[in-house]
């Protein structure tokens, strides 16, 4: 983004290796639990982070990274199931502000984890 590399690492907010953000090859830094913070800002872009509880009762508080480039906003939001050693973290990616949208599938397809199967028994 504007010549900067932004990397995101999944991990439970309360875990030993939490959700973290790396800028330009730096070490991953966890998000401050007490308040969100602006991580990087330029004349036409910003990168900020926060801990949010957008769906109480469904998920616990999770980390969110938002990157704004002009009118386009890219959000990486983590959902965590379970706690501590039993937790599993998933990253959701959303893009807003585009003039046109094409469906993008991936390993799990356009429906995300909704139709995902189970890993085979080992």
- The pLDDT tens digits of the residues spanning 65-89 come to 898 988 899 888 887 776 666 667 7
Q: Give DSSP secondary structure letters for 58-79.
A: TS--EEEEEEEETTEEEEEEEE
Q: How many CB atoms lie within 10 A of CB 50?
A: 17
**Cα 114 to Cα 96: distance, rounded to the nearest angstrom:** 21
**Cα 55 to Cα 59: distance, rounded to the nearest angstrom:** 6
**In Å, what is the CA distance from 13 to each residue of 24, 58, 120?**
22, 16, 28
Tell me: pLDDT of 93 over 60: yes
- The pLDDT tens digits of the residues spanning 24-47 come to 889 998 887 655 677 777 788 888
Average of pLDDT values for 36-60? Answer: 78
Q: Where are the domains of the chain?
A: 6-97
Q: How much is the pLDDT for 27?
A: 92
- Evaluate if pTM is beyond 0.85: no
Q: How much is the pLDDT for 59?
A: 67
Average of pLDDT values for 95-101? Answer: 83
Q: How much is the pLDDT for 48?
A: 86
């Amino acid at each position: 983004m504007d010549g900067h590399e932004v990397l995101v690492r999944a991990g439970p907010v309360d875990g030993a290796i939490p959700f973290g953000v790396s800028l330009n090859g730096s070490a991953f830094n966890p998000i401050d639990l007490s308040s969100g913070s602006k991580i990087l800002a330029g004349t036409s872009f910003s990168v900020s982070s926060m801990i949010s509880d957008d769906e109480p009762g469904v998920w616990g508080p999770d980390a969110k990274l938002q990157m704004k480039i002009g009118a386009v906003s890219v959000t990486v939001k983590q959902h965590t199931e379970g706690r501590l050693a039993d937790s599993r973290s998933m990253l959701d990616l959303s893009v807003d502000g585009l003039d046109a949208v094409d469906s993008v599938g991936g390993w799990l397809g356009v429906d995300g984890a909704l139709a995902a199967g189970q890993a085979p028994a080992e």
